[in-house]
Amino acid sequence: MHICTVTPISKTVGAARIYPAQAIPYPTGNPDLTIEKEDKRKRDIVLNALNLLLQ
């Protein structure tokens, strides 16, 4: 399960399961948010990514 920001690169090299990340320097975070909101955002990204493992 690949979590990355520039998803076309991931597609070019043949990855089957790709989920878009938050941003290049912080794929599973966001320093502009409060800690609570950042945790929520991280949970969304990683859980959505994990769920793609079931498909």
The residues binding other proteins (CB under 8 A) are 1-6, 8-10, 12-17, 21, 23-31, 39, 42-43, 45-47, 49-51, 53-55
DSSP characters over the chain:
-EEES-HHHHHHTT-S-EEE-S-SS-TT--TTS-HHHHHHHHHHHHHHHHHHTT-
Nearest-approach distance from CB 39 to other proteins, in angstroms: 7
Nearest-approach distance from CB 34 to other proteins, in angstroms: 13
Q: Any bridge partners for residue 18, and if so which?
A: 2
Q: Which is nearer to other proteins, 9 or 37 (CB)?
A: 9
